[in-house]
Homo-oligomer: A and B are copies of this chain.
């Protein structure tokens, strides 16, 4: 119940098929795609799950052990997740503790909920 179709505003004479559909909101699309592409990668998805399981804070070195890639890759992945608004960063001494945002928590929960719903 989010959108609605503007019924044939173009008035093109093709009957039977090909009704007109209105476009998708570009701003929302951009935001959502940034989120989805950020989550849709093995390393970054696992980082999110690890951060979620260690509620409160994990530092990069913890995560580095969890996923099987270099420290550099983890750092880049976390930056990407932060840009997408999926994780928060808290500096403390020379460590950085990462935590989930509400957005990320909600999406992970939805994924858990729907997994196996429809085959």
The count of chain A contact residues (Cβ–Cβ below 8 Å) is: 58
Whether A72 is near chain B, meaning CB under 8 Å from some CB there, is no
Which 4 residue pairs are nearest across A and B when measured between Cβ atoms? A36-B40, A3-B53, A40-B40, A37-B40
Q: Is the interface of A mostly helix, strand, loop or mixed?
A: helix
Interfacial residues, chain A to chain B (CB-CB below 8 A): 2-5, 17-24, 28-29, 31-33, 35-37, 39-42, 45-46, 49-50, 52-54, 58-59, 61-63, 65-66, 85, 88, 95, 101-103, 106-119
What separation, in Å, do the CA atoms of A18 and B37 have in the docked complex? 28
The count of identical subunits is 2
In the bound complex, residues from chain B placing their C-beta under 8 Å from that of A54 are 5, 19, 21
**A2 touching B109 in the complex, CB below 8 Å, given contacts A65-B21, A102-B117, A102-B118:** yes
Q: Is the beta-carbon distance between B114 and A107 smaller than 8 angstroms?
A: yes
